[in-house]
Structure 1
Amino acid sequence: MEPHGPGSVLFGCELTASTKSYTFQVDEQDDFEHVLALSVVCLTDGAKDECNVVEVVGRNHENQEIAVPVANLKLSCQPLLSLDNFKLQPPVTFRLAAGSGPVHLAGWHQIVHREDASFEENDDLSEEEEEEEGEEELAPIMPAKKYRRKQ
Structure 2
Amino acid sequence: MDSFFFGCELSSHTHSSTFKVKEEEDAEHVLAWPMLCLTEGAKEEWNVVEVVARNHDHQETAVPVANLGLSGQPMLSVGDCQLQPPIASHLKSGSGPVRVPGRPQIVTISSVSEEEESEEEGSEENEEAELCPILPAKKQRGRPEHSLVG
Deviations 1:65-122 (Å, cap 9, x if unpaired)? 4210111100111100111131100011000011110000112111110238xxxxxx
Q: Indicate the residue corresponding to 1:74 in structure 2.
A: 69
Alpha-carbon distance between aligned partners in 1 of 2:25 and 2:58, rounded to the nearest angstrom: 24
Retained in 2: the 8 A contact 1:85–1:107? no
Alpha-carbon distance between aligned partners in 2 of 1:62 and 1:115, rounded to the nearest angstrom: 24
Alpha-carbon distance between aligned partners in 2 of 1:17 and 1:37, rounded to the nearest angstrom: 25
One of 45, 57, 82 as aligned partner of 1:50: 45
Alignment of 1:46-125 (within 5 A): 46-60=41-55, 61=57, 63=59, 65-115=60-110
Q: Indicate the residue corresponding to 1:27 in structure 2.
A: 22
Q: Indicate the residue corresponding to 1:130 in structure 2.
A: none
- Runs ≥4 in structure 1, deviation > 3 angstroms? none
Q: Is the helix fraction higher in 1 or 2?
A: 1
SS in 2 for 1:115: coil
Unaligned runs of 5+ in 1: 1-5, 117-151
Identity of counterpart residues, as a percentage?
55
Unaligned runs of 5+ in 2: 112-150
Aligned length: 110
Which TM-score applies when normalising by structure 2? 0.68
Retained in 2: the 8 A contact 1:41–1:104? yes
Which TM-score applies when normalising by structure 1? 0.67
